[in-house]
Structure 1
Amino acid sequence: MRDPEDVVIQPHISERAMQDIEEENWYTFKVIMNANKPEIKRAIEELFEVKVNKVTTCRMPSKKRRMGVHEGTRPEWKKARVKLAEGDRIEIFEGM
């Protein structure tokens, strides 16, 4: 079992993520690549003291970047969307 702080890297903020929070109570996080759904659920419940109903994950592919003659890549990362129980909220997303 991993420590919850090791599983969740950071919240993922985007227009779509903010819309999902307001309309459907889905929260989006960046998580470590080898985390599974039960680990993510346990980590979110322990870190934020909320009840998680559903977890969905997807791997976001790496992207090539080019700046003049220099070429590089953005790293691959894993996104987890978490559906909270009715009435539960995560305060770090409020006011964004």
Structure 2
Amino acid sequence: MSGKAYQVLKRPVITEKTTAAKDALNQLSFEVDRRANKIEIKQAVEKIFKVDVLEVRTSTVKGRMKRVGRHMTKTSDWKKAVVKIKPGQSVEFFEGV
């Protein structure tokens, strides 16, 4: 499972909005594998960060059009997971951001 946990979570999503959600609601945001389900995401976060997960919400983010020179290309679609952790717990990785 340890190898699979790192394949499920790709990277943290760190923006002003997600930082505010972390402080106010104890929620963390991640880019996850598009085939991962909520149970796999919950298990991966609990295993990697040693926290208790209360809720997982997922959404598919559509890619956007970008200009590359005189051509328009589309960025890839990706899946985002918002994970709510138990009050009083925190993830050291996200502190100080």
TM-score of the superposed pair, with normalisation by structure 2: 0.94
Code of the residue aligned with 1:14 in structure 2: it is: T
Matched, 1:89 2:96: no
Q: Percent identity?
A: 36
Moved over 6 A (4+): none
Give 1:12 shift: 0.3
CA deviation vs aligned residue, 1:54-90 (integer Å, no higher than 9, x gap): 0000000011111341221111000000000011101
Q: Partners in 2 of 1:45 and 1:27 — Cα distance?
A: 12
Correspondences of 1:1-96 after superposition (within 5 Å): 3-96=4-97
Displacement of 1:38: 0.3
Distance 1:64 1:81 in 2: 24
Q: Which whole-Å CA distance do the structure 2 matches of 1:5 and 1:31 have between them?
A: 10
Q: In 2, distance between residues paired with 1:66 and 1:86?
A: 43
Aligned length: 96
**For residues 13-72 of structure 1, what are the alpha-carbon distances to aligned partners after superposition, in whole Å with 9 as ceiling and x for unaligned?**
111100000001000000000100000000000000000000000000011111341221
RMSD: 1.2
Q: Which runs of no fewer than 5 residues in structure 2 stay unpaired?
A: none
Query: Normalising to structure 1: TM-score of the pair?
Result: 0.95
